[in-house]
């Protein structure tokens, strides 16, 4: 693992904790599930055995427990790449080595429906954070073993999934250019848009960690179907439940 001089040597409070997450060394399990939505963190925490709150600060919340007898942590990582990158930096020094994002996205392929499960293999670095970590030509790729574990866990549960590239962006609402953006990346077989995976893959790789992401579309940008419309809400909830179960199973495999 690359020594992160700035995080390791300078960003500790007098009590030994980190200023953003409130965790300290040894608090965090080797495998960490990352969620932007704090409610999703609570859902995962409820499925863990003996979860303990090890950090809660600035909107972040971190719990460590076990699942299938293996140590696992789950953390709220905030919305967007800057917030997630801070979480990975501090969680890594506190013990994390494998990071799996469990989140939502927007599909840009007609065959990827609301509520489907996507296992990301790589990310388009259309966000700013990763460019402070590595030059633009550096690839944002998920770790092969993490992708394999997520895939195996999904297959074992009979959960159908798509596997491929997602695009990460800093803007949730892409404004008047949205149709152009959908067409541009859809033609290149990008499966979905979201805000964190490419930064996660880049930061984790540079720091010597492993990472992956499992995502569920809450909207389909080609059809306009969104979670706020009728049956799609139930489909999304069911898909996210499957993604949560798969992520925990994969975490146990990787521990």
From first to last of its 255 residues, what are the pLDDT tens digits of the chain? Answer: 455 545 555 577 777 777 787 787 889 999 999 999 999 999 999 999 999 988 888 888 999 999 999 999 999 999 999 999 999 999 998 999 999 999 999 999 999 999 999 999 999 999 999 999 999 999 999 999 999 999 999 999 999 999 999 999 998 876 668 889 999 999 999 999 999 999 999 999 999 999 999 999 999 999 876 676 667 788 999 999 999 999 999 999 999
pLDDT digits (tens, 9 = 90+) for 163-191: 999 999 998 876 668 889 999 999 999 99
Helix, strand, or coil here: 155? helix
Cα dihedral 111, 210, 202, 47 sign: positive
DSSP bridge pairs for 98: 31, 210
Per-residue CA distances from 164 to 63, 120, 188, 217, 237 (Å): 30, 5, 11, 14, 22
Q: What is the pLDDT of residue 56?
A: 87
- What is the phi-psi region of residue 168: left when phi exceeds 0, alpha when psi lies from -120 to 50, beta otherwise? beta
Given a contact cutoff of 8 angstroms between Cβ atoms, the answer to whether 161 and 245 are in contact is no
pLDDT digits (tens, 9 = 90+) for 42-84: 999 999 999 998 888 888 899 999 999 999 999 999 999 999 9
φ and ψ of 66, to 5 deg: -130, 160
* Cα–Cα distance measured from residue 161 to residue 76, given in angstroms and rounded to the nearest whole number: 24
Cα 239–chain centre separation: 15
DSSP state of 109: S
171 CB neighbour count, 10 Å cutoff:
14
Q: What is the pLDDT of residue 168?
A: 98
Q: What is the pLDDT of residue 191?
A: 99
Given a contact cutoff of 8 angstroms between Cβ atoms, the answer to whether 140 and 125 are in contact is yes
Integer-rounded Cα radius of gyration of the chain: 17
- Could you tell me whether strands 192-194 and 162-169 are parallel, antiparallel, or unpaired per DSSP bridges? parallel
Q: What is the pLDDT of residue 192?
A: 98
Q: 29, 33, 30: which is closest to 240 by C-alpha?
A: 33
4 CB neighbour count, 10 Å cutoff:
17
169 CB-near residues (< 8 Å, 6+ apart): 126, 127, 193, 194, 195
12 CB-near residues (< 8 Å, 6+ apart): 18, 19
Q: What is the pLDDT of residue 8?
A: 56
The Cα angle at residue 151 between residues 204 and 67, in degrees rounded to 5: 75
Q: What is the pLDDT of residue 4?
A: 57
* Cα–Cα distance measured from residue 221 to residue 210, given in angstroms and rounded to the nearest whole number: 30
Q: Domain 5-254, what architecture?
A: 3-Layer(aba) Sandwich (3.40)
> How many Cα atoms are found within 13 Å in the side-chain-facing hemisphere of 153?
23
Cα 195–chain centre separation: 9
Where helices occur in 63-142 by DSSP H, the ranges are 81-93
């Amino acid at each position: 693992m690359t020594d992160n001089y700035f995080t390791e040597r300078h960003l500790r409070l007098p009590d030994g904790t980190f200023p953003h997450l409130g965790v300290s060394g040894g608090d965090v399990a080797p495998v960490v599930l990352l969620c932007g939505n704090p409610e999703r963190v609570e859902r995962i925490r409820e499925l863990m055995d003996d979860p303990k709150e090890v950090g809660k600060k600035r909107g972040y919340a971190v719990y460590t427990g076990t699942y299938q007898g293996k140590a696992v942590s789950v953390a709220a990582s905030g919305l967007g790449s800057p917030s997630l990158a801070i979480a990975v930096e501090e969680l890594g020094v506190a013990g994390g080595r494998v990071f799996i994002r469990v989140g939502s996205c927007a599909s840009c392929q007609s065959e990827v429906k609301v509520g489907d499960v996507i296992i990301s293999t790589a990310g388009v670095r259309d966000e700013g954070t990763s460019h402070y970590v590595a030059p633009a030509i550096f690839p944002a790729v998920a770790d092969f073993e993490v992708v394999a574990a997520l895939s195996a866990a999904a297959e074992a549960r009979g959960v159908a999934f798509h596997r491929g590239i997602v695009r990460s962006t800093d803007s949730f609402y892409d404004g008047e250019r949205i149709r152009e953006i959908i067409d541009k990346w859809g033609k290149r077989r990008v499966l979905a848009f979201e805000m964190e995976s490419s930064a996660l893959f880049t930061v984790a790789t540079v720091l010597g960690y492993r990472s992956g992401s499992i995502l569920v579309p809450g909207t389909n940008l080609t059809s306009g179907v969104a979670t706020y419309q009728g049956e799609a809400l139930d489909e999304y909830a069911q898909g996210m439940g499957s993604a949560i179960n798969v992520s925990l199973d994969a975490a146990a495999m990787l521990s």
